[in-house]
Structure 1
Amino acid sequence: MNKLKNKSILLLAVLAMAVGSMSACHSDDKEKKEQQEEEQQQDAVETPTVQIVPLTKGRLSSNITIPGELIPYQQVDLYAKTNSYVKKLLVDIGSEVHQGQLLAVLEAPEINSQLAAAQSRIKQFEAVYFASKATYDRLVSTSKTPGTVSQNDLEQAEAKKNADQANIDAAKSGLKEVSANLAYLEIRAPFDGVITSRNVNLGAYVGPGGKSTDPLFTIQDQGRLRLVVSVPEVYTGALSNKSEVNFTVRALPSEKFTAQVKRIAGALDEKLRAERLEMDVYNKDKKLLPHMFAEVSLPLPAGDSTYVVPKTAVATSTEKVFVIKVVDHKAVWVDVKKGLSNGDSIEIFGGDLKPDDKLVKAASDEIRNGSTLKY
């Protein structure tokens, strides 16, 4: 029995030693594997593997979408020039009018009185002039006999006649002024358009002395509209007055409209730092209304040949915009400026770059400047 017991104890001891040896070996293998993974990660950080692309030149056209506004080609507020009362209203909101059409008639009785007074003043000065002219003519006739009329009397008579003639001319000018004021009592359309506002009623007192500062009418030319956009400074170099643009409006989302660039400001707005563009939009069917907002797709044609790279090759940090050039397996950060973009491509400018340079396709600030690269 004792021999059997000893053998059992010996067997258990051997098994325990074998299990311990296996655990130690497994632990060593695990540590080696973790160490290898850590070394691989460290190597990947110190020597990252990257994909490179060659630097090439090309031309990149693009479109930008910017908001715009449709405004009337012509718009004017019509006021009363003289203090008067509204006698007749011949149009209302929505009326289509033509150039020279009578819109309203005003009444000012005092102007009629001024007109009559001006006419009477002319007749008065004419009577005085005819008398002085007759006197002057008689003196001239008498002066032909030597010694009958002094030269001084003749000159005074001529001066009196000329002064009376000047009074007639002044009175006629006064009559023209009153007649012009009388013409202001008729409000006429300055161009073809639509009445979009009416702020008076019959009998209203209007003119500079009136209480209301609102215009009598507002008239707009809606047959042709101006599409106005403000283009940011960065895109102004690619603008052309031969470009055709497409635009949409919210009221008609399923329709696309076109317009031709007609006017370019040639200067930047000081507040917006943008350049004003105007396009003419012909609106014969009156689908579009003034002051609608539009989404305008503005083409930016390609300029001179520039460097074109994938967007992922351009990295942006808090301090700079750069690409990573690969030189002798080393990363070199090169500062650049962005240009036009189209799809997955973008223009870049500046920097120490030349054609066929190798750039990192997926650049980021995690690839440190001067680090070794694999590719």
Structure 2
Amino acid sequence: MKTYIYSKLLFGSAMVLLSGLTACNNSEKKAEKKQPEAKIATFNLKKEKLSTQITLPGELIALQQVDLYAKISSFVRTLKADIGSEVTKGQLLMTLEAPEMNAQLSAARSRLKAQEAVYTASKANYNRLYETSKTPGTISTNDLDQALARRNADLAQLEAAKAAFKEVGTIQNYLEIRAPFSGIISARNVNLGAYVGPSGKGSELPLFTLQDQKNLRLAVSIPEVYTGYLKQGDEVNFTVKSIPSKTFTAKVKRLSGALDLRLRAERVEMDVPNTSKTLLPGMVAEINIPLPANSSTFIISKKSLLDTSEGLYILKVENSKAVRVAIKKGRETDDKVEIFGDLKEGDLLVKEPTEEMHDGSVIKL
């Protein structure tokens, strides 16, 4: 009897507990149903002007640089300059000697003198015959014509001998190496007595490398997407690793006007005055290139951009439903980005879309 009563009590307690749980679940469901759906933040697309800048690596090179080689095979006789020497245009840097050149010059001089004597004799002979022929019947016309032809032939030979002598003399002038412009010797690869000659014939390396270091070029390759923002006369700022605290200024002087087929970039050169010689050719510079806003374009927050494995999208709201629109990026800053696509001003876009939002998803505003 006691067991029966105890079992009945347990059954009653279980029913009460079950009823309580059911009531709780029903009340939670009612509470959930009563909770309003969260609204999705949107904004109207509008055009703005976005001014940015990019940082690109560039290289400083001498405004003028030349490698000097020997014109003829010879030996170094004297050295008048060394690495670091500051030279002026036309200054003697080195003298060479080639003994065979002296022999060639002497031979050319002898041939010239011999031909001068031959021409003098033929000219005198023609002049005598010409004066004699003025007396009728003394000299035949044929003899006079032959004398004239001989004189003209000897004159031609004389001109050839003069040209040969001048040629040897000109070649001998190459035994003096002079600076083609003012600058600094940045490399010297020979010593006294060294055998030198044209590149590949005794001299694999140049005798001297001469650089104009008072004026430098700053060369940079501008990626295709940013071409057109720089024009001749624009100024840009740059820094170098050796003096990171100092900012230098350069002025755009030359634009190639074409893209490099390998880099797909346009080469741009800027002139950099360097009278203090603070900068050195070969330095790598970090160039800050301004990208001014030429016109208004569609600008959105980066949070409004939906980056998926299929591409870049924004979510446009039409009739309270989401529509994915494929776009392309342009310039960007830390928090904003320029976009291009099938868009018009005033379109309603989702402010912070997620990948769970698909075409046709209901957007509660």
TM-score range, shorter chain: over 0.9
| Other-structure match for 1:174 | 164
How far apart, in 1, do the equivalents of 2:346 and 2:285 lie?
43
Alignment pair present for 1:77 and 2:67: yes
Distance 1:258 1:39, change over 3 A: farther
* Residues 97 and 334 (structure 1), Cα distance of their counterparts in 2 relative to 1, 3 Å cut: same
- Cα distance, 1:26–1:135 mapped onto 2, change above 3 Å: farther
For residues 59 and 31 of structure 2, the distance between their equivalents in structure 1, rounded to whole angstroms, comes to 61
Give the one of 310, 318, 321 matched to 2:301: 310
Pair 1:200 & 2:190 matched: yes
| TM-superposed deviation, 1:331 | 0.8
SS in 2 for 1:271: coil
> What amino acid is the match of 2:205?
D
User: For 1:85-131, what per-residue CA distance to the aligned partner results, in whole angstroms no more than 9, with x for missing partners?
Assistant: 10101111111111111111111122122222211111111110011
Query: What residue in structure 1 maps to residue 246 of structure 2?
Result: 255
Q: Give 1:151's aligned residue.
A: 141
Using structure 2 for the length normalisation, give the TM-score: 0.92
Quote the offset at 1:13 in angstroms: 4.8
Within a 5 Å distance, the mapping from 1:26-45 to structure 2 comes to: 26-28=20-22
Identity of matched residues, %? 53
CA distance in 2, matches of 1:371, 1:261: 52
Q: Identify if the C-alpha distance between structure 1 residues 34 and 132 changes in structure 2 by more than 3 Å, giving closer, same or farther.
A: farther
Q: What residue number does 2:359 align with?
A: 369
Of 135-144 and 269-278, more deviation after overlay is shown by 135-144
Q: Higher mean Cα deviation, 365-374 or 209-218?
A: 209-218
Cα distance in 2, alignment partners of residues 339 and 192 from structure 1: 46
Cα 1:157–1:368 change in 2 (3 A) is: same
Question: Do structure 1's residue 165 and structure 2's residue 159 form an aligned pair?
Answer: no
Q: Partner residue of 1:185?
A: 175
Normalised by the size of structure 1, how large is the TM-score? 0.90
- Cα distance in 1 for partners of 2:31, 2:72 equals 94
Q: Which of 10, 14, 34 is equivalent to 1:20?
A: 14
Per the TM alignment, residue 140 of structure 1 is displaced from its structure 2 partner at its CA by 1.2
> Residues of 1 paired with 2:55 and 2:79: CA distance?
45
For the pair 1:212 / 2:206, whether they are aligned, the reply is no
Cα-to-partner distance string for 1:218-249 (whole Å, 9 max, x where unaligned): 11111111111111111113222232211111
> Is 2:291 aligned against 1:300?
yes
Call closer, same or farther: CA 1:87–1:153 in 2, change over 3 Å: same
Corresponding pairs, count:
364
Q: Secondary structure at the match of 1:238?
A: coil
Structure 2 residue 347 is the aligned partner of structure 1 residue 323: no
1:57 matched to 2:51? The reply is no
Would the aligned equivalents of 2:69 and 2:203 in 1 still touch at CA under 8 Å?
no
The correspondence for 1:269, drawn from 243, 260, 264, is 260
User: What amino acid sits opposite 2:66 in the alignment?
Assistant: V
Q: What is the RMSD of the two structures over their aligned residues, measured on CA atoms?
A: 2.4
Q: CA deviation at 1:72?
A: 1.0
The residue matched to 1:229 in structure 2 has which SS? strand
**Cα distance per residue 1:158-213 (max 9 Å; x no partner):** 11111111111111111111111111111111111111111100000111374331
Letter in 2 for 1:59: K
Give the drift of 1:303. 1.9
More deviation, 339-348/288-297: 339-348
Structure 1 residues 146, 329: closer, same or farther in 2, change over 3 A? same
Identify which range, 18-27 or 215-224, moves more after superposition: 18-27
**Deviation of the 1:49 alpha carbon:** 4.1
Q: Provide the secondary structure at the position in 2 that maps to 1:279.
A: strand
Alignment equivalent of 1:92, drawn from 72, 82, 87:
82
Does structure 1 residue 286 correspond to structure 2 residue 239?
no
- Are the equivalent residues in 2 in contact too, given 1:68–1:230 (CA < 8 A)? yes
- Displacement, 1:30? 6.4
**Structure 1 CA distance, aligned partners of 2:84 and 2:105?**
36
